[in-house]
Structure formats: structure tokens, C-alpha cells
């Protein structure tokens, strides 16, 4: 029972702080390797040849509500983990 409590606490804190990170940062810029990976998975078309264009970097802007949602879920999980009984 105690390990469930600790795992729930860790998941709650990680979700909360990830939500804080999404609220603070406006956008993320991916490097070339990640941009090519996302383009291949999302069907972004063929990438230009190296001599035709400079390497492009994708800018990801998460929606503003995502940070609040993660912070809310993290707070609920953290409080729930603190309300569980300690094993024993």
C-alpha cells in the first residue's frame, strides 16, 4: 500500500510541475532531428534537400488550457496520495 501512495504522489507532483512548465513557457523549438521525426509521423510531406533550404526547426505552441489541466490533475493526485493511509 505504501508504494502505491508514493507512486501516486510522484505522478501528482510530476503532472503539477509539468503543468507549471507549460504555463510559463510560450513555445518550444524542436531541433532538426526532432522536426524530421515529427514530420515523418504526422505526414508533413517530404523534407527539402540539404542544398535547397536551410534546416527548418518546428515551433510547438501548446494551448494555454493544457497547463491548467495538468496542474489540476497533479493537485488532485497529490492530495489523494496524502489522504491514503500509510501501510502498516
Q: Residue 86 has what pLDDT?
A: 74
**Domain limits, the chain:** 2-83
Q: Residue 1 has what pLDDT?
A: 55
User: 12 exposed, middle or buried (CB, 10 Å; 0-12, 13-18, 19+)?
Assistant: buried
Q: Residue 68 has what pLDDT?
A: 96
Q: Residue 49 has what pLDDT?
A: 56
Mean pLDDT by 10 residues, the chain (88 residues): 86 97 92 84 62 70 94 96 79
Q: 3-class SS at 75?
A: helix
CA distances from 86 to 1, 3, 8 (A): 7, 9, 13
- Whether the model clears a pTM of 0.85, i.e. scores above it, the answer is no
Q: Residue 76 has what pLDDT?
A: 97
Amino acid at each position: 500500500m505504501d508504494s502505491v501512495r508514493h507512486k501516486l504522489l510522484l505522478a501528482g507532483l510530476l503532472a503539477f510541475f509539468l503543468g507549471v512548465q507549460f504555463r510559463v513557457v510560450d513555445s518550444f523549438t524542436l531541433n532538426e532531428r526532432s522536426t524530421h521525426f515529427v514530420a515523418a509521423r504526422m505526414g508533413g510531406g517530404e523534407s527539402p534537400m540539404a542544398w535547397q533550404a536551410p534546416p527548418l526547426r518546428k515551433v510547438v505552441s501548446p494551448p494555454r488550457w493544457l497547463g491548467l489541466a495538468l496542474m489540476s490533475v497533479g493537485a488532485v493526485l497529490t492530495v489523494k496520495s496524502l489522504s491514503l493511509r500509510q501501510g502498516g
